[in-house]
């Protein structure tokens, strides 16, 4: 090969890289919200496993406003452990193990809200109309030392914890969460008892109306990333698929009652 041929080949490679790399970076940046949410789910699984291994209580939280200047990357989750529950109960110290290090939330992604408790249609509707639900007020009173919008998630020595919903977004921090477009935020929902988690965009108003009408729980137990509006057939298909996989849930049609459901023997007092 002559020097000219080598230069031509190198030039073509540079040209191809100049075209491909920006597109690849653009695709990665466009998926940072989803990737960050999945990495957060992996961190929660690691914390649960370490809590069971150590037999100690762990805590996952995010920095308060007065801590942001003291932390190198204040948007990353903070992992803490109750090292001495007998002598110093309630005192959590930062975990410095190697598995804690690294970037969990990528780029401009940050956690805008943490909601404790199992999601319900009533809570979702209340949140649409007002930010002052009773559940949120209880959370504020229980965690007065923390940001009321982002209370800590405490994981017990057996790996169990409360249900939790982590809301991630790439919007500027001064944005009102209620004014964010549906596609700008993504929710990581955690079943604290089983440890199962999934990603879900916020429900649309028409979907909330459907779930409320059918008395269905606001729990899909699978990723919901498409922007298409969920229909009744979609939800029933999700439930049927879970049934086939042995993950029976309480979602069922309320406008259809089987005869065996009505054939219930009466007790001695007629109840």
CATH class of 32-202: alpha beta
In sequence order, the 6+-apart residues with CB closer than 8 A to the CB of 107 are 29, 32, 36, 170
8 Å CB contact between 208 and 128: yes
Could you tell me the residue ranges of all domains in the chain? 32-202, 203-255
Give the chain's end-to-end CA distance (angstroms, integer). Answer: 94
Average model confidence (pLDDT) across the chain: 79
Pairing state of beta strands 110-116 and 153-155? unpaired
CA angle centred on 60, ends 109 and 88, rounded to 5°:
150
Compute the distance between CA of residue 226 and CA of residue 240 in angstroms, rounded to an integer. 19
Q: Which long-range contacts (CB under 8 A, 24 or more apart) does 121-128 make?
A: 121/208, 121/211, 121/212, 121/216, 121/217, 121/218, 123/218, 124/203, 124/208, 124/218, 125/208, 125/212, 128/205, 128/208
Pairing state of beta strands 153-155 and 164-169? unpaired
Q: What is the average per-residue pLDDT within 24-41?
A: 76
| pLDDT computed for residue 268 by the predictor | 44
- Compute the CA torsion angle 242, 156, 94, 47 (nearest 10 deg): -30
Give just the sign of the alpha carbon dihedral 244, 249, 253, 256. Answer: positive
Residue-wise pLDDT for 103-142, tens only, equals: 999 998 999 999 999 988 887 777 666 544 444 444 444 4
Residue-wise pLDDT for 66-91, tens only, equals: 888 888 889 999 999 999 999 999 89
- If pLDDT is split at 50, 70 and 90, which confidence band does 42 have? very high
Compute the distance between CA of residue 129 and CA of residue 116 in angstroms, rounded to an integer. 19
Could you tell me how many residues make up the chain? 271
């Amino acid at each position: 090969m002559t020097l000219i041929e080598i230069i031509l080949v190198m030039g073509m490679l540079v040209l191809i890289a100049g075209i491909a790399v920006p597109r690849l970076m653009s695709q990665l940046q466009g998926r940072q919200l989803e990737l960050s949410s999945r990495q957060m789910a992996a961190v929660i699984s690691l914390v649960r496993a370490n809590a069971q291994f150590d037999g100690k209580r762990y805590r996952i939280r995010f920095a308060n406003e007065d801590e942001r200047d003291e932390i190198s990357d204040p948007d990353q989750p903070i992992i803490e452990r109750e090292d001495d529950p007998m002598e110093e109960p309630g005192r959590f110290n930062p975990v410095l193990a190697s598995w804690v290090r690294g970037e969990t939330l990528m780029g401009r992604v940050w956690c805008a809200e943490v909601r404790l408790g199992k999601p319900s249609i009533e809570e979702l509707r209340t949140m649409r109309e007002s930010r002052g639900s009773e559940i949120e007020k209880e959370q504020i009173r229980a965690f007065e030392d923390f940001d009321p919008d982002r209370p800590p998630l405490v994981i017990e020595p057996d790996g169990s914890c409360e249900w939790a919903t982590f809301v991630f977004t790439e919007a500027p921090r001064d944005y009102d969460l209620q004014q964010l477009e549906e596609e700008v935020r993504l929710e990581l929902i955690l079943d604290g008892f089983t440890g199962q988690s999934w990603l879900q965009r916020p429900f649309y108003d028409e979907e909330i109306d459907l779930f409320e009408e059918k008395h269905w729980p606001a729990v899909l137990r699978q990723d919901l990333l498409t922007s298409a509006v969920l229909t009744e057939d979609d939800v029933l298909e999700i439930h049927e698929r879970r049934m086939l996989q042995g993950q029976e849930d309480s979602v069922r049609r309320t406008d259809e009652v089987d005869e065996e459901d009505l054939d219930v023997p009466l007790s001695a007092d007629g109840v």
